[in-house]
């Protein structure tokens, strides 16, 4: 099926949020937006659209949205270290965290700006393994 692209929808959603003068209006507009998706049979895209939309909003504020996967809550010092790494790598002032405790191995996996940084124990072991095999 010829689909309207996610980027189209994100743009539409943006202008719709910008136009809304109140929470009430926003909610009505957003219902219209969901109906549009439904009519185009693309309601399943909504999670992706919202994720992209959120990333863009933060980006416009000079912030980077990063998802942290870990086995339990990461320590503040860990996050500070990762944040300074991300800030210099992606030229941003600030990092907004989304923490997900869904990792089985110790350590952290970070997703930001479409890239993935694997600092988990499992990931490090995996890299170690391939480096031995290559040698």
Partner 1 sequence: MKVHMNETNLLIEQLKKQAQSFKKEFSSQQVGTVLEVADGVAKISGLRDVMSGEMVEFEHGEIGLVLNLEETLVGAIVIGRDHQIKEGQSVKQLGKILSIGVGEDLIGRVVNPLGQPVDGLGPIKAEQFNPIEKIAPGVITRQSVNQPLQTGIKAIDAMVPIGRGQRELIIGDRQTGKTAIAIDTILNQKDQNVICIYVSIGQKESKLARLVEQLRQSGALDYTIIVDAGVSEAAAYSYIAPYAGAAIGEYFMEKGRDALVIYDDLSKHAVAYRQISLILRRPPGREAFPGDVFYLHSRLLERAAKLSPEYGGGSLTALPIIETQAGDSSAYIPTNVISITDGQIYLETDLFYRGIRPAVNAGLSVSRVGGSAQTKAMKKVSGRLRVDLAQFRELESFTQFGSDLDEKTREQIERGRRATEVLKQKQYSPLTMAEQVSILYALSNGYLDEVPVDKVSAYQDSLLDYLHSQDKEALRLLTEVKDLKPEVENALVSALEAHATLFKQENS
> What residue ranges bind partner 1 (CB under 8 A)?
1-2, 4-5, 8-9, 11-12, 15, 17-23, 26-27, 30-31, 34, 36, 38-41, 43, 46-47, 50, 53-54, 57-58, 61, 63
Helices vs. strands in the chain: H and E counts, helices first = 5, 4
Query: Shortest approach of partner 1 to residue 111 CB, angstroms?
Result: 17
H or E element in which residue 65 lies = strand 63-70
Burial of 64 (0-12, 13-18, 19+ CB in 10 A): buried
Residue (46 or 99) nearer to partner 1, CB: 46
- Report the interhelical angle of 6-19 vs 23-39 (nearest 10°): 160
Query: Shortest approach of partner 1 to residue 90 CB, angstroms?
Result: 17
Query: Shortest approach of partner 1 to residue 3 CB, angstroms?
Result: 9
Residue (38 or 129) nearer to partner 1, CB: 38
């Amino acid at each position: 099926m010829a689909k309207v692209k996610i980027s189209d929808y994100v743009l539409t959603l943006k202008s719709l949020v910008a136009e809304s003068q109140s929470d009430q209006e926003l909610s009505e507009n957003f219902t219209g937006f969901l109906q549009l998706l439904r009519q185009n049979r693309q309601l399943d895209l909504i999670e992706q659209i919202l994720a992209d939309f959120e990333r863009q909003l933060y980006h416009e504020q000079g912030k980077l949205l990063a998802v942290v996967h870990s086995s339990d809550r990461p320590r503040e010092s860990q996050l500070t270290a990762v944040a300074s790494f991300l800030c210099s790598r992606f030229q941003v002032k600030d990092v907004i965290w989304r923490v997900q405790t869904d990792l089985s191995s110790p350590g952290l996996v970070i997703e930001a700006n479409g890239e993935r940084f694997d600092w988990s124990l499992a990931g490090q072991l995996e890299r170690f393994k391939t480096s031995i095999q290559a040698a």
